[in-house]
Structure 1
């Protein structure tokens, strides 16, 4: 019974920490919020916070993973409902929604980048759940387009990989901050490029 109570307390602490962190991130910006501020606002000791999350990057990753599960459920619902539409249309909608999601979370990527640059435990872009999910969906849609004759035969895995590489968060940040592209410009150029390349007849 005591062990079950400890597990319940740990689950409640997790919810409290994530709810508090998300509120502070929205209000003040991800980079401006410290772990100390999160612990103080949540009313817990810093030791309790650090036992669960060794860094703000770990905390951000868990928050993003939770949100990403909801986002993928929406995408999966769309793909299921739009299963009879041409692959080109589904791919365009998929990428458009993906860019909107990335733009909404752009500040979070700064935390990963700055933390990873001075940490041996670097976040591996191609192995995080969002990247793996997108790769799987892109490969499935591209293979469907090849099989149906909507596009010419191509290396599905390599093409999906090249698309994912093009939307690497670091490149996204560079285009927005250093090259002064707007989110809409990036989205328009990127989708147009791959539509012309993949669906050229």
Structure 2
């Protein structure tokens, strides 16, 4: 969460909201999201349960806000990088975005993945995190095709395949034992080297 504003600059309601989200985040990390209930969150945040339920009708609503708060630094980092790297080849920029996504996800698994799955109407590839990644990758790949850096591919489908590959990184790392290096090398071979115009044309 942003530390730019101290408590004296925030409304009472915002202070309470942040206490709730930070308390939930800590409990999710320490105990696992499935083992945390609304009563525990209210107690740790030092707010009444009535006050908690006025803001959030169920734990899933808190999970949704926690995920958005956690993902915002990644969104900001990707935007700043792309704004400052216009002179770098487009596919190289795409790979750096992929690295940032994988690094971000790895640092927060498994707890953030568990929190995401507890959000209402959970559809992983339609979440804010994946929608942001989808839009960024579509823009970069479209530009790469237009500039002749990438082959004339179906950009929308290619991006969906990339997102499918990125999904469940926690499972790939913790359950299947793949290293981050393995994952990134594989993604680079398929979605960077594999899409270059001269390679496909040959």
Does TM-score exceed 0.5, indicating one fold? yes
Report the Cα offset of residue 191 of structure 1: 2.6
The answer to whether the aligner puts 1:35 opposite 2:34 as a matched pair is: no
Tell me if structure 2 keeps the 8 A contact 1:126–1:132: yes
Tell me if structure 2 keeps the 8 A contact 1:30–1:108: no
Aligned alpha-carbon RMSD (Å): 2.3
Q: Deviations over 1:25-79 (max 9, x none)?
A: 45x1543544322211111122322332233332222122123222211111111
Relative to 1, partners in 2 of residues 1:48 and 1:181: Cα closer, same or farther, differing over 3 Å? same
Tell me if structure 2 keeps the 8 A contact 1:17–1:38: yes
Alignment of 1:1-201 (within 5 A): 8-26=11-29, 28-31=30-33, 32-106=35-109, 107-113=111-117, 115=118, 121-169=120-168, 172-199=169-196, 200-201=199-200
Give the secondary-structure state (helix, strand or coil) at the position aligned to 2:73: helix
* Aligned positions, number: 187
Tell me if structure 1 keeps the 8 A contact 2:91–2:141: no
Separation in 1, partners of 2:75, 2:176: 30
Q: TM-score when scaled to structure 2? A: 0.81
Q: Deviations over 1:85-143 (max 9, x none)?
A: 10121111110010011112222212343x47xxxx42122322111111111111111
| Map of 1:3 onto structure 2 | none
Relative to 1, partners in 2 of residues 1:131 and 1:11: Cα closer, same or farther, differing over 3 Å? same
Unpaired runs of 5+ residues, structure 1, are 1-7
Unpaired runs of 5+ residues, structure 2, are 1-10
Relative to 1, partners in 2 of residues 1:185 and 1:51: Cα closer, same or farther, differing over 3 Å? farther
Report the Cα offset of residue 19 of structure 1: 2.6
| Map of 1:5 onto structure 2 | none
Q: TM-score when scaled to structure 1? A: 0.81
